[in-house]
């Protein structure tokens, strides 16, 4: 059976469609971290961005294309020569580049958005693919809003672009309108009626407006689609996209039904999910399939008894299979580096050398302040240490005096990148306001605090507090994250981290 199993390609668009989701923007350092994690996971294609949309997006696609070697790197383009030229510039150093061209084919899009006739759309699709093929052998064409399009017209367009050199044709449910039975039947229709389809691969890209993106994608795979476009945690426009981790595990767990698989390393799914959640600041709901906090939790007594007797009574996959780690005793202050390295490896993090030493030093400090160290604490340590932006400012110390009868007063000392120390004393409407006001004075900027979130990483009494802030200045917005057993310190760390992101981006510009 294994020898006959067909492989479905994973086209990950977390860095393009996922980042378009409100509140999910990432800086270049974040994007590179995510791209590297996706490469480790085994994504066949990583859509790194939309190069023509901004100089920053072009630069991030260029940097990712230079770093990623094991996955194909794609850049999205409208069916315009200037967009394709931007993609060519961004992908020129990619080991395996792909130009991804999209053009709408539905009546409502052609009439109201494109203001083009069907024959004009057909001509534009063909000429854009031919233009892209002049410098890139791997060209994908997407018929935007394909499910609401005339299926015979889609077949006609696909036949023409395949003849023009497209090696992948994408059939998206752009607005999440389809049901699984309909979408599977339509995918089968496209395969049967598109001339030359044997020379190309049919891809699908499903949105989740009705909560059916994963089901529709699986229906298309069952019908013969060879590529599925998805995102980590299902992030994306509006209600999001098909979830990468759910697609991978559905095919893996139900291989008896689909007889199809992906080359994804499923043990990297949970680390990828946590990384995307942390760099975007968008938390995964506890009951999220595969990677949610409760995905392998059992509270009912009858469930607990069954799982203790045999996990298969209530678990169709193991937490280890998705990289969530074993259900075991946590590490403590007496644990050594070998034990820490083994646990991190079980969680999907392959760290060694200087980076392992750095994580171990942070772990020891945390273990001295915290009675028990759980897997989520370790995830926070790794996220903070790996790939952080350059620190122009670093917290040296802080002091807050506050009571119910007098305004809070803060003293904050920051160390700059040259080793110099700056101190400021400020009052405020509460501890956090006083500390942030002092930091604004130290860095010489009147920064606006847009959002401030505080949560416990674990549920124990001495849990670390995780603070996430978004600040804005002169029309730009930056995110920062801080972790500490002291919630005020975690808030200050998050604020300083956001400022460092702002400073790093300003230097790039």
Tell me the per-residue pLDDT of 137-180, one tens digit each, with 9 for 90 and over.
999 999 999 999 999 999 999 999 999 999 999 999 999 999 99
Q: What is the mean pLDDT of residues 103-132?
A: 98
Give the Cα separation of 477 and 447 in Å (integer): 10
Q: Is the pLDDT of residue 230 over 90?
A: yes
Give the Cα separation of 130 and 146 in Å (integer): 21
Joined together, the tokens standing for residue 55 give: 């100089």
- Least confident stretch, 3-7, 71-75, 254-258: 3-7
Give the Cα separation of 282 and 182 in Å (integer): 32
Q: What is the mean pLDDT of residues 375-385?
A: 74
Same domain, 266 and 364: no
Phi-psi region of 238 (alpha: psi -120 to 50; beta: other; left: phi over 0): left
8 A C-beta contact, residue 46 and residue 20: no
Query: What percentage of the chain reaches a pLDDT higher than 70?
Result: 90
Residue 99 lies in a domain: yes
Query: What average pLDDT does the structure give for the chain?
Result: 89
pTM over 0.95? The answer is: no
Joined together, the tokens standing for residue 357 give: 């030493």
Element (H or E) spanning 412, and its range?
strand 408-416
Residue 285 lies in a domain: no
Chosen domain end from 383, 403, 427: 383
Same domain, 301 and 349: no
The DSSP secondary-structure symbol of 262 reads -
Same domain, 339 and 418: no
Of the candidates 60, 53, 69, which has an alpha carbon nearest to the alpha carbon of residue 32?
A: 60
Query: Which CATH number belongs to the domain containing residue 179 in this structure?
Result: 3.20.20.70
Same domain, 353 and 269: no
Q: What is the mean pLDDT of residues 6-12?
A: 97
Give the Cα separation of 65 and 93 in Å (integer): 6
- Least confident stretch, 8-17, 70-79, 347-356, 486-495: 347-356
- Least confident stretch, 21-35, 134-148, 433-447: 21-35
Q: Is the pLDDT of residue 308 over 80?
A: no
Q: Is the pLDDT of residue 248 over 50?
A: yes
Q: What is the mean pLDDT of residues 191-200?
A: 98
Query: Which CATH number belongs to the domain containing residue 410 in this structure?
Result: 3.30.160.270
3-class secondary structure, 150: coil
Residue 469 lies in a domain: yes
Residue 289 lies in a domain: no
Number of domains in the chain: 4
Joined together, the tokens standing for residue 385 give: 């240490």
Range of the domain at 427: 393-508
Give the Cα separation of 48 and 57 in Å (integer): 9
Same domain, 188 and 312: no
Q: Is the pLDDT of residue 330 over 70?
A: no
- Environment class of residue 368 by beta-carbon count within 10 Å: exposed (0-12), middle (13-18) or buried (19+)? exposed
Same domain, 434 and 488: yes
Give the Cα separation of 308 and 315 in Å (integer): 11
The 10 Å Cβ neighbour count of residue 421 is 10
Same domain, 342 and 397: no
* Cα–Cα distance list, 508 to 390, 398, 505 (Å): 12, 30, 5
302: pLDDT confidence band, cut at 50, 70 and 90? very low
3-class secondary structure, 17: helix
Same domain, 73 and 216: yes
Residue 200 lies in a domain: yes
Same domain, 376 and 424: no
Q: Is the pLDDT of residue 322 over 60?
A: yes
Residue 47 lies in a domain: yes
Same domain, 6 and 145: yes
User: pLDDT for 255-291, tens place per residue?
Assistant: 999 999 999 999 999 999 999 998 998 899 989 999 9
509: pLDDT confidence band, cut at 50, 70 and 90? very low
Q: What is the mean pLDDT of residues 97-122?
A: 98
Residue 291 lies in a domain: no
pLDDT for the residue 327: 52
Same domain, 341 and 417: no
Of the candidates 100, 66, 72, which has an alpha carbon nearest to the alpha carbon of residue 84?
A: 100
Residue 415 lies in a domain: yes
Q: Is the pLDDT of residue 200 over 70?
A: yes
Same domain, 106 and 162: yes
């Amino acid at each position: 059976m294994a020898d006959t199993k067909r492989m479905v390609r994973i086209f990950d668009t977390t860095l393009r469609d996922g980042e378009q989701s409100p509140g999910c923007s990432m800086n270049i350092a974040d994007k590179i971290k995510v791209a590297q994690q996706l490469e480790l996971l085994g994504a066949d294609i990583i859509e790194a961005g939309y190069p023509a949309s901004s100089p920053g997006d072009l630069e991030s696609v260029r940097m990712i294309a230079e770093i990623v070697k094991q996955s194909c790197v794609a850049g999205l383009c409208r069916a315009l020569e200037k967009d394709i030229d931007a993609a060519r510039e961004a992908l020129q150093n990619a080991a395996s580049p792909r130009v991804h061209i999209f053009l709408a084919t539905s009546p409502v899009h052609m009439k109201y958005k494109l203001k083009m006739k069907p024959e004009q759309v057909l001509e534009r699709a063909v000429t854009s693919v031919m233009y892209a093929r002049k410098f890139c052998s791997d060209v994908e064409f997407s018929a935007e809003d394909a499910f609401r399009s005339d299926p015979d017209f889609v077949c006609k367009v696909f036949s023409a672009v395949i003849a023009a050199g497209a090696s992948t044709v994408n059939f998206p449910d752009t607005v999440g309108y389809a049901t699984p039975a309909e979408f599977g039947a339509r995918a089968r229709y496209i395969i049967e009626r598109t001339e030359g389809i044997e020379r190309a691969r049919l891809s699908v890209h499903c949105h989740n407006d009705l909560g059916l993106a994963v089901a529709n994608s699986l229906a298309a795979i069952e019908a013969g689609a060879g590529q599925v476009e998805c995102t980590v945690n299902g992030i994306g426009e509006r209600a999001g996209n098909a979830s990468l981790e759910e697609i991978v595990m559905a095919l893996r767990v139900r291989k008896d039904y689909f007889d199809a698989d992906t080359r994804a390393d499923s043990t990297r799914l949970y680390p990828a999910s946590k990384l995307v959640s942390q760099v975007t600041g968008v938390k995964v709901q506890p009951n999220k399939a595969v990677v949610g906090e409760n995905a392998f939790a059992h509270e009912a007594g009858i469930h607990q008894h069954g799982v203790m007797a045999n996990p298969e009574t209530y678990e169709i996959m193991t937490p280890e299979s998705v990289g969530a780690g074993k259900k075991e005793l946590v590490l403590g202050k007496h644990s050594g580096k070998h034990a820490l390295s083994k646990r991190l490896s079980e969680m999907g993090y392959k760290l060694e050398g200087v980076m392992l030493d750095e994580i171990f030093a942070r772990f020891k400090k945390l273990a001295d302040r915290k009675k028990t160290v759980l897997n989520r604490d370790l995830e926070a340590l790794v996220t903070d240490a790996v790939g952080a932006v350059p620190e122009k400012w670093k917290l040296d110390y802080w002091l807050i005096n506050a009571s119910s009868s007098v305004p809070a007063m803060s003293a904050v000392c920051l160390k700059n990148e040259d080793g110099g120390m700056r101190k400021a004393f400020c009052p405020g409407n509460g501890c956090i306001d006083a500390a942030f006001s002092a930091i604004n004075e130290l860095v010489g900027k009147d920064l606006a605090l847009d959002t401030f979130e505080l949560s416990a990483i674990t549920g124990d009494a001495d849990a670390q507090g995780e603070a996430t802030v978004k600040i804005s200045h002169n029309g730009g917005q930056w995110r920062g994250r801080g972790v500490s057993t002291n919630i005020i310190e975690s808030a200050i760390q998050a604020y300083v981290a956001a400022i460092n992101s702002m400073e790093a981006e300003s230097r790039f510009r």
